[in-house]
A = this chain, B = another copy of it.
Amino acid sequence: MAGTDRSRPDVVLDRNPVVVLVRPQLGENIGMVARAMMNCGLGELRLVEPRDGWPNEASAAPASGALPILQAAKLYNSVTAALEDCHKVYVTTARQREMIKQIMTPKAAVRQLRQQIADGMKTALVFGPERTGLESDEVALADTVIEVPLNPSFSSLNLAQAVLVIGYEWYQSGDDTPEDRREVGHTPPADHGEIDAFFERLVDELDTVNFFWPEHKRQAMLRNLRSLVNRLEPTQQDVRTLHGIVSALIEARQRRKGMKKG
């Protein structure tokens, strides 16, 4: 997906959950996590014992411009140290564990996160290492486990994708973009008077060649055609275009006849 509008303001990055990566292996993945975080308006990254040390040059290119997040990332030597100032901790895992935990879908989890943040709490989303995931003792630190409902026979997400899915739900829960809208560009929608006028003209032209035949089917044909025209939901420009098409089709035949005569 391409395109970023740099004229629009940054979202506010504070008062959002902290992202904690526990023992991440590849610098590339840390960079991709930063990119996904930036996509989703998450700004604070904490790294617990990254395998290849920190900073890690391999993270820069995959971050695709999310460098401020990498530059501000903080390094910790234990999970408990990274979570010390957090009131509520969420871990993501697809594993079934013998532990009594609140388990939520991403959708439900972000609703709860919003409420906790509104109540003044600091929150954290914790992600384990590639492949192995979090240790049971680390899962035990969490207040809530997030399980992403996915194909049960193929549910494993890579690190950046797991961050993206949770971050995406987080962003959606705070966003008020209309779910469904029509982009009409510069011309306003046609009103029923304009649509009626076009429809009547079209019917007049079609009547000259007895298009609506046989007579007993005329009303039904008119209704279906009217319904079809309505479904266009045309703009004023569209109605002008439709008039032009009717004129042009008529002229096309005239021209062709003329050529045959000539």
Contact = CB atoms under 8 A, between A and B. Distances in A.
Interface size grouping (class) on chain A: 35 or more
A8 interface: yes
A64 interface: yes
A150 B39 contact: yes
Contacts of A132: 2
Number of copies of this protein chain within its complex? 2
A14 B234 CA distance: 35
A103 interface: yes
B133 A249 contact: no
Interface stretch (A51-59, A74-82, A152-160): A152-160
A154 B248 contact: no
A238 B100 contact: yes
Contacts of A208: 252, 255-256
Contact of A5 (B148, B152, B160, B211): B152
The 9 closest A-B pairs by CB, nearest first: A2-B133, A250-B253, A3-B94, A108-B179, A8-B152, A249-B249, A1-B162, A149-B177, A1-B157
